[in-house]
Amino acid sequence: MIRIFLRIIRDKKTSIIVYSVAGILLLWMYVAMFPSIRDQAESLSELMQSYPEGFLEAFGIDEGFNFDRLENFVSIEHFSLIWPIMVIFMLVSFAGAGITGEIEKGTVEIPLSRPVSRIGIFFGRYLAGLFILLIFTIFSVFAVVPLANLHAIDYVFENYTTFAILGFLFGWAIFSLAMMFSAFFSEKSRVYMFIGSLLITMYVLNLIAVLKESFQDLKFLSFFYYYDYKSAVVDNTINSEAIWVFAAVIIFCTFIGAIWYKNRDIAV
């Protein structure tokens, strides 16, 4: 299992670097923009008051919200959509290219021929994915410290630590789900289709719940409801409900994925 883990990290080092650098550069763009946005905070607040309430709620903007703090700005501009999209693409592509990818290419016999159990193969890949997520989270979130210092901007380090925990749990749940589907199917396209359809449905359900009070219970079916980036980055809090939900998804999907891969017939 350790050899599989190390081999995957070695093979994926370029992807890890590319995603991490991209995350840092995108964050840098918003940090560099913040001083000019802060100077116009009052005008932007007045402008937002003219927008429909439902529109603002859809983007996590409450009444009285303004851009006088770096945390307020990057939570809306970066961590609301761009950061989770990068995490989703990175982890789903890794999961799909792993077990399913080897079955599809006909190279799955290579790891299966080694003196490692299927469970060991599964968790070797699983732990490699978590390591990639951890590296990306550290660099794409905590890069705010040197970047904010570079531009002489005040920041609250604890808030980014809280978000890093929430973001890691969010990514972990999605990765566990993707690994489960990767154990189910023999084609990468089916993994991407099922995960993509499921996540888009979750996003739409959360959006409907925000816009329509009569459908607000739909939000509990969406990962994006529990991914409360604003509370983490701005208020330095994580809802305990989110921790329990993500933990339940992680445990269930990991268990089912590992058992399914252990017992499935693999035709190459």
Based on the structure, what is the number of domains in the chain?
1
The whole-number pLDDT of residue 101 equals: 61
Q: Report the distance separating Cα 205 and Cα 216, nearest Å.
A: 9
User: In this predicted model, which residue has the larger pLDDT, 222 or 51?
Assistant: 222
Q: With respect to residue 56, please indicate whether it lies within any of the assigned structural domains.
A: no
First vs last Cα of the chain: how many Å apart?
A: 22
What is the rounded distance in angstroms from the CA atom of residue 196 to the CA atom of residue 85?
Answer: 11
The verdict on residue 226 lying in a domain is yes
| Distance separating alpha carbons of residues 228 and 63, to the nearest angstrom | 17
Q: Choose the weakest-confidence range: 55-69, 128-142, 211-225, 250-264.
A: 55-69
The pLDDT of residue 144 is above 60: yes
Q: Which amino acid is at 79?
A: F
Mean pLDDT score of the chain: 85
Assess whether pLDDT exceeds 80 at residue 49.
no
Q: Is the pLDDT of residue 185 over 90?
A: no
Closest alpha carbon to 117 in 1, 5, 3: 1
Residue 169 token pair: 């749990």
Residue at 49 is within a domain: no
* Choice among 140-144, 237-241, 262-266 with the minimum mean pLDDT: 262-266
Inside any domain, residue 101: yes
Check residues 141 and 124 and name the one with the higher pLDDT.
141
- Can you read off the two tokens belonging to residue 151? 């531009």
Which residue in the block uniquely carries the two structure tokens 């990175």?
A: 90
Per the CB < 8 A criterion, the answer to whether 107 and 265 are in contact is no
Rounded to 5 degrees, φ, ψ at 79 are: -80, -10
Percentage of residues in the chain with pLDDT exceeding 90?
A: 54
For the record, the structure tokens of 128 come out as: 């490699």
Q: What is the pTM of this model?
A: 0.87
Domain contains 63? no
Q: How many C-beta neighbours within 10 Å does residue 19 have?
A: 24
For residues 39-78, b (16+ Cβ closer than 10 Å) or e, as one string? eeeeebeeebeeeeeeebeeebbeeebebebbbbbbbbbb
Paired tokens of 187: 């084609």
Residue-wise pLDDT for 67-85, tens only, equals 788 998 899 889 989 999 9
Q: Mean per-residue pLDDT for 177-195?
A: 87
For residue 136, pLDDT over 80 is answered with: yes
In a domain, 42, yes or no: no
Top pLDDT among 175 and 191 is at: 175
Please work out, in degrees rounded to the nearest 5, the angle formed at the alpha carbon of residue 22 by the alpha carbons of 74 and 199. Answer: 70
The pLDDT, as a whole number, for residue 107 is: 53
In-domain check, residue 50: no
Report whether pLDDT(244) > 70: yes
Dihedral sign for Cα atoms in the order 243, 58, 93, 10: negative
Q: Specify if 52 maps to a domain.
A: no
- Which of the four pLDDT bands, split at 50, 70 and 90, describes residue 198? very high
SS (H, E, C) 225-240: HHCCHHHHHCCCCCCH
Confidence at residue 268, expressed as pLDDT on a 0 to 100 scale: 45
Domain with 117, as residue range(s), is: 2-36+70-263
pLDDT of residue 42: 61
